[in-house]
Amino acid sequence: MKEQSTTKSFAILSAAGMIVKILSLLYIPFLKGIITDEGYGVYGAAYSVYVFIYVITNSGIPVAISKLISELTAVKNYRDAVKSFKISRFILLIIGTFMTILMLLFARPLSKAVHYDKAYLSILALSPAILFTSIASAYRGYFQGWGNMVPTAVSQVIEQIVNTIFTLVFAALLMRYGIEAGCAGGTIGTSLGAFASASYLIIFYERHKKIKVPKGYNEMEIRRYTTKQILRKIANYGIPITICVGMTYAGNLIDVGNTKARLMAGGIQEAYASTLYGYLVKYQQLLNVPIAIITSLAVTILPAISSAAALRDREQVRDKIKYAFRLCFLIAIPSAFGLAVLSEPIFSMLKFGKGSFLMRYGSIVLVLMSIMQIQTTILQSIGKLYTATIYSVIGIACKILANYVLIAMPNINILGAVYGSIIGYTIPIILNNRMLKKSLNIKFNLLNAGLKPALSSIFMSFVVYIIYSSINLLSGITGATYLINALATVTSIIFGLYSYLFCLILTSGVTKEDFKYLPSKFMRMIPKFMLERIR
């Protein structure tokens, strides 16, 4: 089993995450064209139910596996590392089977609970995916604990390719029987993709399960753990993480029914309320593209910090935390600015239809989500599991309350969900920041850390706007509106990336160390005059 550096692991997972999210975006206009805007709202509601059950099943134990294996391998306890994985895999298999059956039996009550009766068939079609993802999650946690992100990355890409193909095929085949059947067809691909992913991971594990141990390993005095002790560790790590993530998604699930109900309370008709909720789903899916990179960073950094904490290396813990926050800001801030400036062109290019105003006003949520995700991961890595959970619950409660009040206001309506998210993330960020400073005694100012990326992003935004506006003028001359918009959008994104990098270099926002692990092909794409200015 090969172990990779934190930087290489992050690069691999980020690349896979971006491929997966781009694929998931590309099929949305086709799916929306098949099942209509109203159907897409139903599809989104069913998916929210599935995601909630998915995280309840799969969020805690895979992270516990990753954390436990990284800690045990750090002290050379390889036997218990493998033993922990096998115990966890069995637990996930049992839980996954149970939750799949539960989802099948309660599909009707769940669809009614979120005020989307038409989502019943879609929830049924999604239920097998819970079992397959449980199996896949166990193996991903194992490989991530070893610091090998390749199997996770490949399995994610396989899953999304299979999902994309069969989602569109079955949606088209079943739409002739009505919106409910069409939406259910659109969810069959998820179960098939999860099955393909789990199959790949099992095959990869069987071929690479041998572990190379250092010379003299058998002579080393290593503290072994009993099955009971390992189970206790899995529970101690897994339960608070499950509660933390589960509560976040419980808040999202409440929002599904709450959003539609509050829109109708504000005087909006049911069909249009479903359409507005569909806008919110599209906004969240587009937001998830850059979030995939932050998630990759979180997945990579957790075992790395856990290993350093197990060895009581406080300096390495501090270095990795500062590295995580720097990367978080370097990615999240320009992504938020870019999505805000190009919200309408991107929606038009992807044929998302209406709803771009949500991204224009709500891209700041991307930055807040990213910060909170990194903070929560760090707190989990250093053993502050229940603290992270409590703060998340406080944020969710504030978000639900804000949504309840704001969405029902006719002049705000669906934007209330965005404002609620801003409130719901800001409060835990403040609390998490205080806890991190107190626990680790790290002098780290979030505002100062984000200053150079923010200044560079402002400069980038001006460049993007000028380039897009200049090229888009051609649409009035040629009449090829869609092609000109797509050309202008892609070109302005490319120029935006270079202008952002150039400004970062000028302000010393990046250093030579940041480029150390980048592939040579990527380095050749950076102009020499920029590279010469890097300090």
Task: State pLDDT tens for residues 253-280.
Answer: 666 667 878 888 888 887 788 788 778 8
Dihedral pair phi/psi, residue 342, rounded to 5°? -105, 25
Listed by start position, the domains of the chain span 8-449, 450-535
Residue 165 to residues 131, 155, 373, 445, Cα–Cα distance (Å): 21, 16, 31, 45
**Of residues 434, 349, 361, 277, the one with CA closest to residue 26:** 349
3-state secondary structure 484-495: HHHHHHHHHHHH
**Of residues 194, 191, 152, 162, the one with CA closest to residue 62:** 152
> Packing angle between helix 28-58 and helix 60-74, nearest 10 degrees?
60
Give the three-state DSSP class for 212. Answer: coil
3-state secondary structure 191-209: HHHHHHHHHHHHHHHHHHC
d(CA 133, CA 272): 34
Query: What are the tens digits of pLDDT across the range 211-225?
Result: 665 555 554 566 677
Angle at 133 between CA 235 and CA 303, to 5 degrees: 50
Query: What are the tens digits of pLDDT across the range 36-46?
Result: 777 777 887 88
d(CA 140, CA 44): 26
**Of residues 233, 222, 204, the one with CA closest to residue 78:** 222
Q: How many residues does the chain have?
A: 535
Average pLDDT, whole number, for the chain?
80
d(CA 165, CA 175): 16
Residue 36 to residues 69, 111, 164, Cα–Cα distance (Å): 46, 19, 17
| Stretch 289-315: mean pLDDT | 68
Cβ(281)–Cβ(114) under 8 Å? no
Q: Give the tokens for residue 298.
A: 């979180």
Q: Give the tokens for residue 302.
A: 């957790």
d(CA 337, CA 363): 7
Q: What band does 464 get if pLDDT is binned at 50, 70 and 90?
A: very high
d(CA 303, CA 381): 7
d(CA 480, CA 469): 15
d(CA 194, CA 403): 33
**Of residues 201, 192, 204, the one with CA closest to residue 155:** 201
| Stretch 281-306: mean pLDDT | 72
Query: What are the tens digits of pLDDT across the range 333-369?
Result: 999 999 999 999 888 888 777 888 889 998 999 899 8
- Looking at residue 219, what is its pLDDT? 46
Cβ(60)–Cβ(140) under 8 Å? no
Q: What band does 252 get if pLDDT is binned at 50, 70 and 90?
A: low
d(CA 159, CA 182): 21
User: At which residue do the structure tokens 């038409």 appear?
Assistant: 118
- Range with the poorest average pLDDT among 92-106, 380-394, 513-527: 513-527
Q: Give the tokens for residue 53.
A: 């059950």
d(CA 94, CA 383): 27
